[in-house]
Amino acid sequence: MLNRPLLENLAETILFSQRRSRARLMRKMKLYWIINDEKSTDFYKELDMNFWNLVGYAIKYVKEHDEALRNKVEDELKEFTKEEIEKMRKRVENGHSWYGENPKKAFKECELFDNWFGDYRQACALLHVRERNPFDLTNVSKKEKELFIKMEFSKTLELVLFHLKYYENFCSEVFNRNDVSQNLKNLNEKIKIIQRDLMKEIEPSWDTFVPLR
């Protein structure tokens, strides 16, 4: 589940680094989050008010929060044209992010589809419980479960390091001055060693050479 926002953020970071006119992109991102705030102001209207009556005084603060957020949204939208606002509203309604595409297309554009989109789908399935748990660990031993969990955490750490490397495009001076790049490389090597050791425990013959017949 941790991988979903991490993978989304990685894809969006790559798209941001590859495209021109970052000032325009920042404007789109700001509008995207304003529209999301706008959608959330409608949330409480759809709730059964009988439910809120059960919690008594809480409804007063819910209404105050909703009103404050609505005023904030109305004020911030004044910075944008009607065309920009309507276009972004359509994107949000279609489940698209600020860059105007769905996650599948974004992963393909970033050339991450083959390596990461499967993990992204699994993370979505676990997060929303829309599908059967993709990790069937019901009939495995305690040791196998522990090895699986360790491997999943090591893959998440590997993804974090991969993500951090893209920030070197924006903070190259800081990366070079503080040896961040070299430290990331060293950490990545350590993670690779951990993963190889885990694989030897999970499947001892995983790296055995199999001759072609």
Residue 189 covered by a domain: yes
Q: Among 66, 71, 83, 68, which residue's Cα sits nearest to residue 31?
A: 83
Residue 147 lies in a domain: yes
| Per-residue confidence (pLDDT) for residue 212, from 0 to 100 | 52
pLDDT tens per residue across span 100-158? 888 888 888 888 888 778 877 777 766 554 444 445 556 667 888 788 888 888 888 88
pLDDT of residue 116: 75
Q: What is the pLDDT, as a whole number, of residue 205?
A: 67
Model confidence, pTM: 0.56
What's the domain count of the chain? 1
The answer to whether residue 158 sits within a structural domain is yes
Domain that holds residue 190: 138-205
| CA 82/CA 86 separation, integer angstroms | 6
Q: Where are the alpha helices (DSSP H) in the chain?
A: 3-18, 22-41, 49-54, 58-76, 82-93, 103-109, 113-128, 142-166, 172-177, 180-202
**How many Cα atoms are found within 13 Å in the side-chain-facing hemisphere of 92?**
19
Question: Has residue 183 been placed in a domain?
Answer: yes
| 45 within domain boundaries | no
Identify whether 37 is part of a domain.
no
Residue 27, in any domain of the structure: no
